[in-house]
């Protein structure tokens, strides 16, 4: 019995090197994209506010939107009394 010659393409050494080189570059293509979640919700946004004792507090912006205003446009003297400052 005689074997029939294969008519398919034989990959030579010159054909392997470009394939090997391009396969080594594939991991660098994926580093362009970051998998960080975007800040689309309002719960992640914070506002800085001043407490009566003078310390700074970070509060969620959604909490401020849902809050109720007791008095608007208070004078400076009332604000200073609320802070506890005396001049």
> For the segment 25-79, what is each residue's pLDDT rounded down to a tens digit?
777 776 655 666 665 554 468 999 888 788 899 988 888 888 887 788 888 888 7
Is the residue at 2 inside a domain?
A: no
In this structure, the number of other CB atoms found within 10 A of the CB of residue 83 comes to 13
Is the residue at 82 inside a domain?
A: yes
pLDDT by residue (tens digit) across 29-40? 766 556 666 655
The tally of domains found in the chain comes to 1
Q: Which domain holds residue 71?
A: 60-87
Alpha helices in the chain (DSSP H): 13-29, 61-65, 76-83
Is the residue at 76 inside a domain?
A: yes
Is the residue at 7 inside a domain?
A: no
Write down the pLDDT at residue 42.
46
Is the residue at 48 inside a domain?
A: no
If DSSP codes are grouped into helix, strand and coil, which group holds residue 38?
Answer: coil
Residue 5 has pLDDT above 80, yes or no: no
């Amino acid at each position: 019995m005689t074997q029939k010659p294969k008519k398919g393409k034989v990959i030579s050494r010159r054909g392997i090197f470009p394939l090997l080189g391009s396969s080594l570059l594939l991991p660098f293509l994926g580093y362009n994209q970051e998998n960080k979640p975007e800040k689309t919700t309002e719960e992640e946004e914070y506002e800085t506010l001043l407490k009566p004792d003078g310390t700074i507090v970070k509060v969620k912006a959604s909490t401020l939107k849902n809050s109720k205003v007791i008095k608007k446009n208070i004078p400076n003297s009332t604000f200073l009394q609320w802070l506890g400052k005396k001049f």
